[in-house]
Amino acid sequence: MEFNSVVFDMDGVILNSLVDREGWKYEAVNKALKSEGVDPESLDREKKDSLLGDQGYADCVSTSKEVGVNPRKVWTEVAEKTTLAREKQLENGQFELYEGARESIRALHDRDIKMGIISNAPEMAVELTIEHFDLKRFFKFYAGVRNFEDLRARKPHPNHLEMAKAELKRDPFVYIGDHRSDLVAAQRANMSSIWVKRNKASMDVDPDFTVKDISRIREIVLENT
């Protein structure tokens, strides 16, 4: 199939931010919880994922009420603290683009493929990352979760991918992700999908293509363009 627009997920796809089991991120969540008067040791990682927004709006609200904090306030605090932690990791050289990511992005750009980024990370974290790696010039559109209310539209909801389609305009589209939520969002947005499978995990959603190396997307996208 010929693809004229390519949309990437960020973390785990083009950026290796998954170092040390994302300890940097959970340390930032702990700081945010302490600032809200919550003992971080009282919450397991799943509850912290809820406050990060990783399990969607409803779970974030539910967990916030459970621990006695305002959901909007705590999510905003978590978003700010994790973005600051990301910035520190970038400055210290702890995060790197995956091997072949920059070359693949440049190759698509050189063939006039329109590109975007859709991430479930806070939008300020997306902008920080692409500016750090001098990638902004390659992408016509990018978006993360913009505010607390926007959690309702995070993947697997198709809203953000529909926004990308409206901006990029060139059909057909393909979304590249590494999680189930990415593949479900692509299906709901009527986009093809590429699963970046970096481990032996199985998936109960069928992607259109599966790759273990981000460099292989060039073969898929450029093969017939």
pLDDT above 70: residue 224: no
- Contacting residues for 147 by C-beta, under 8 A, at least 6 apart: 76
129, 84: one domain: no
133, 194: one domain: yes
What pLDDT, on a 0 to 100 scale, did the predictor assign at position 200?
A: 66
48, 116: one domain: no
62, 108: one domain: no
100, 206: one domain: yes
11, 66: one domain: no
211, 106: one domain: yes
Q: Which residue has the tokens 């974030």?
A: 60
Q: What is the pLDDT of residues 85-98, one digit of tens each?
A: 999 999 999 999 99
Q: Which residue has the tokens 């990060």?
A: 52
First to last CA, the chain: 9
Q: What is the pLDDT of residues 194-218, one digit of tens each?
A: 999 987 677 889 999 999 989 999 9
Give the residue numbers spanning the domain of 11. 5-16+96-222
- Contacting residues for 115 by C-beta, under 8 A, at least 6 apart: 5, 6, 7, 8, 105, 108, 109, 138, 139, 140, 168
- Whether this model's pTM surpasses 0.95: no
Q: What is the pLDDT of residues 23-36, one digit of tens each?
A: 999 999 999 999 99
Q: Is the peptide bond before 40 cis (omega within 30 degrees of 0)?
A: no
pLDDT above 90: residue 14: yes
Q: For the chain, list the strands marked E by DSSP.
A: 5-8, 15-16, 96-97, 114-122, 141-145, 173-177, 192-196, 209-211
107-113 mean pLDDT? 95
79-87 mean pLDDT? 96
Q: What is the pLDDT of residues 35-53, one digit of tens each?
A: 999 999 999 999 999 999 9
Q: What is the CATH number of the domain that holds 159?
A: 3.40.50.1000
One-letter amino acid for residue 115 of the chain? M
Total number of domains constituting the chain:
2
12, 116: one domain: yes
Q: State how far the Cα of 127 lies from the Cα of 133, in Å rounded to an integer.
A: 10
Quickly state the pLDDT bin for 1 (edges 50, 70, 90): low
Give percent above pLDDT 90 in the chain: 89
What pLDDT, on a 0 to 100 scale, did the predictor assign at position 91?
A: 96
Quickly state the pLDDT bin for 20 (edges 50, 70, 90): confident
Alpha carbon 60 to its chain centroid, in Å, reads 18
Q: What is the pLDDT of residues 166-195, one digit of tens each?
A: 999 999 999 999 999 999 999 999 999 999
108, 69: one domain: no
Q: Which residue has the tokens 């790696």?
A: 133
